[in-house]
Copies of this chain bind each other. A is one copy, B any other.
Amino acid sequence: MKSEKSKEILKFPKATFERLKQYHALLTQLEIEQKQRYILSEEIAEMLKITPEQVRKDFSYLKTSGKPKVGYNISELLAELDELFGIKANDNIIIVGAGNLGSALANYKGFQNIGARVVAIFDKDQEKVGKMVGELMVLPLKDIPRVVRRFHVRTVAICVPEDAAQQVADLLVAYGIKAIWNFSTRILDVPNDVIVQNEDITRGLLSIKHMLAESEKRKYENSEV
């Protein structure tokens, strides 16, 4: 490749990338609300519990720039982030497991905001096959390869019971799936070229427990002094 600079521009710190996802979610929300056209680094910072300097530093990796005393144009910023995350290029995904969690995902309306679409949901249980989940009919597992090929599915959300997660993952790997969105708490064993994104929600609750304990401690210490 020729242009080294253009590559450089799309290269930001990992920590910045994580925050860009948060900015994207926030800006999407603001864009929908249509209450304001511009936003200050300080406003963003307050909402996301970070510093304004951090926000500006992050944005300095982008092409979009803000105006002193006015802030950043929400639409412009969101457009650049959309572009950056490849949101215009839609990704077809499927869900395995039509229990409550799988159904919740299937009904989730926000996927369009991040360039994703759920094209099918599968379940092992014959009782569930044929039932409707939102606008999708639950399909049997054997149909996975056909749907994957037909819709060029690269990403699968695993929403099955804990002890079935690895088994389903093995199946999906065999079908050539590129990325697994793992909603079980199990650590999946897959080949190195398969991406695994874990959504173990219990981690969030552990954080809460820890923060609650911390704030209790502070309260105690303060009353001591």
Chain A residues near B (Cβ < 8 Å): 1, 17, 21-22, 24-26, 29, 47-48, 85-87, 91, 93, 99-101, 103-105, 107, 109-111, 113-116, 154-155, 162, 178-179, 181, 185-187, 189, 193, 195, 197-213, 215, 221, 224
Stoichiometry, as copies per complex, reads 2
Question: Which chain B residue shows the least CB distance to A198?
Answer: B204
Best-surrounded residue of A25, A93, A111, A221 (most CB of chain B within 10 A): A25
Could you tell me the distance in whole angstroms from the C-beta of A51 to the nearest C-beta in chain B? 15
Is B114's CB under 8 angstroms from A104's CB?
Answer: no
Is B104's CB under 8 angstroms from A210's CB?
Answer: no
Cα(A205)–Cα(B105), bound, Å: 12
Could you tell me the distance in whole angstroms from the C-beta of A104 to the nearest C-beta in chain B? 4
Is B29's CB under 8 angstroms from A187's CB?
Answer: yes
Residue in B113, B178, B210 whose CB lies within 8 Å of A202: B113
Query: Which residues of B are found within 8 Å of A86, using beta-carbon distances?
Result: 209-210, 213
Main SS class of interface, A: helix
Query: Which residues of B are found within 8 Å of A114, using beta-carbon distances?
Result: 202, 205-206, 209
Question: Which chain B residue shows the least CB distance to A116?
Answer: B205
24 contacts between A and B (CB under 8 A): A1-B224, A21-B206, A21-B207, A25-B203, A29-B186, A47-B187, A48-B187, A85-B210, A86-B209, A86-B213, A91-B209, A99-B104, A101-B104, A105-B201, A110-B202, A111-B205, A113-B202, A114-B206, A115-B209, A178-B215, A181-B205, A181-B208, A197-B207, A199-B201
